[in-house]
Amino acid sequence: DAGVIQSPRHEVTEMGQEVTLRCKPISGHNSLFWYRQTMMRGLELLIYFNNNVPIDDSGMPEDRFSAKMPNASFSTLKIQPSEPRDSAVYFCASSLGENTGELFFGEGSRLTVL
Amino acid sequence: QKEVEQNSGPLSVPEGAIASLNCTYSDRGSQSFFWYRQYSGKSPELIMFIYSNGDKEDGRFTAQLNKASQYVSLLIRDSQPSDSATYLCAAGGSNYQLIWGAGTKLIIKP
């Protein structure tokens, strides 16, 4: 299996621009997570999908962030407008089943907002 | 507030020695515990999980759980330079939520 695939790997953008991050989970995994990692705050769960349905978006920082999962093989995380404080590494992870901590992470998307 | 605490390190261990990484958690309802390894610039990778009190061994790695003390540890025997990484401890409950520690940076000195 190819694992969790994320794109882009690196994104540099200017404040106010729209950013879209993409994720393809492992085939057959029905749980998908978007995390953000920074030195200051560590790993933070942004949103959790189960069977393509958003279950918990309480970690989404504010209305500028949105996430979708139109089908079992694709998810997006969008930031509009972006701000310098959004600079972080964004990870997508998937798992087989809902109540498991056995997550498979993608390589991450490193976002820099100038 | 549910928390998982780890010493941030760095923890420096000579090659060939045993590296001991520790983690405490606040939620007594936590049922499962996970150790992820994260190399610099890479993504976290699951290396061990433990659900029951006691020890669980997998190759050079041993996870230890003491629910009474709310304590989890990871032992790495015969440490290698390739073990140098940040180790994240995470606690899980009855649902999808994981509580993550901030990680311990481990350095294995040749």
Interface with chain B: mutation pick from A33, A105, A110, highest number of B CBs within 10 Å: A105
Q: Which residue of B has its CA nearest to A108?
A: B43
Q: pLDDT tens for residues A33-54?
A: 999 999 999 999 999 999 999 9
Q: Does A25 touch chain B (CB under 8 A)?
A: no
Q: pLDDT tens for residues A59-85?
A: 998 899 999 999 999 999 999 999 999
Task: Say if residues A47 and A66 touch (Cβ distance below 8 Å).
Answer: no
| CA pair distance B90, B24, nearest whole angstrom | 10
Check pLDDT > 70 for residue A1.
Answer: no
Task: Per-residue pLDDT tens, chain B, 110 aa: give them.
Answer: 889 999 989 999 999 999 999 999 999 999 999 999 999 999 999 999 999 999 999 999 999 999 999 999 999 999 999 999 999 999 998 788 899 999 999 999 99
Helix, strand, or coil (residue A84): helix
Q: Which residues contact A40 (CB under 8 A, 6 or more apart)?
A: none
Check pLDDT > 70 for residue A24.
Answer: yes
| CA pair distance B46, A55, nearest whole angstrom | 23
**Neighbouring-strand partners of residue B109:** B14
Q: Which residue of B has its CA nearest to A40?
A: B102
| CA pair distance B5, B13, nearest whole angstrom | 21
Check pLDDT > 80 for residue A99.
Answer: no
Instruction: Find chain B residues with C-beta within 8 A of A36's C-beta.
Output: none
Instruction: Find chain A residues with C-beta within 8 A of B46's C-beta.
Output: 102-104
How far does B81 lie from chain A, in Å, by closest CA? 22
- Amino acid A100: pLDDT: 82
